Amino acid sequence: MRTIQKTYQFRMEPTREEEQRLLQFAGARRFVWNWALDRKRTHYKTHGKSLRYNDLAAELTELKSQPETAWLREMDSQALQQALRDLEQAFTNFFEHRARFPRFKSKKRDQARFRVPQRVVVQAGQVYLPKIGRVRLRQHRTIDGQTKSATFKRDAAGHWFVTLVAHVALPDWPLAVPTPETTVGVDAGLKDVAVLSTGERMPNPRFARRQERVLRRANRNLSRKQQASRKRGRARARLAQVYRKIANQRAAFLHQQSRRLIDRFQVVAIEDLNVRALAKSKLSRSFADAAHGRFRRLLTYKADWDRKQLVVINRFFPSSKRCSACGLVRDHLQLSDRFWRCACGVTHDRDVNAAINIQHEALRLLAGGCPESLNACGPSVRPATAGTMG
């Protein structure tokens, strides 16, 4: 047996009183974060060393007994302690050069959210939260496994969501032997989100492009509102609803396509795209709309759930320039060349040919006992045989 982690997100439908309590919990988390951050900075300037979590947790208990901060006793204790753990993790990420130095959280800019590590139960379309009670939610599926933690968050459109993390035990059955029939190569693009080695294409719906006119109108309406006015707040919420709709449409499309691939094939091979660099190019909006990074993440965890294999091909592998019939590499191939003819007489569709080459490379790597290609970059660490046929 093996244990995997699944995440479930449901939209909540709180009443006015329940929403006010949720905002109070979020405000208490923000207060504890700012208080703990100030204590750590002050203590370090005075004594030259930082306060740890246990020290802050003891001080938090004393803080609740003071008259000015006695209102903290009305909040869930584990949610307040989780804010201290989050701050400790933020400092760890900073010292390990994974994030910047933790900053104070503003009531205006910080998103209303908090996390409860235990005692949150979802049952019969309701979520039970300590110190608040049962809140209605849109439970569109059952939860498998044991729930470990719950994060409550309000988005820019004013909707509350609960995200539950559950651990599920699955049988650890062996991986199937890959064959050309059960292996598919996927070439990512902009006109088509993905082109398969079977010749199938996944057209790019371009959800953001379709909503450009609506976005411009919503942004123009927001810019005309007076600062800090109620109408500006409502205009900001309408703009956030448009972005939320685009995100939901894109997520639904990517979930459907990734599930279809994992159900049909035993091995899925994709390229290791440099998504961060593509997001800075002149086609950044188009790449962001295609969401190749999220598509890869969906394929990764769904393949792990179903005991399938996801093979990531080296980004320097010449998938488009190599002839899938004879193996000849055409050095001078422009991006505008959507079709090209090889010296062996075969005419290739650029995208389909790339997908077939990705499929062949994945089979070669799996036959050699390597589940994934090297993702090195730079002349000093790049393998000399990277991208060559075995």
Active-site residues: which are they?
A: 187, 271, 351
Q: What per-residue string of b and e applies to 154-192 under the rule 16 or more CB within 10 Å gives b?
A: bbeeebbbbebbbeeeeeeeeeeebeeeebbbbbbbeeb
Q: At what angle do helices 77-95 and 53-64 cross, to 10 degrees?
A: 150
Residue with the two structure tokens 């090297």: 374
Contact 357, 287 (CB under 8 A): no
The string of DSSP codes covering 338-367 is SEEE-TTS-EEEHHHHHHHHHHHHHHHHHH
End-to-end Cα separation, the chain, in angstroms: 36
DSSP secondary structure code for residue 8 in this structure: E
The Cβ-side half-sphere exposure at 344, using a 13 Å CA radius, reads 11
Contact 166, 148 (CB under 8 A): yes
Quickly count: other Cβ atoms within 10 Å of residue 331's Cβ: 6
Strands 126-129 and 121-123 come out as antiparallel
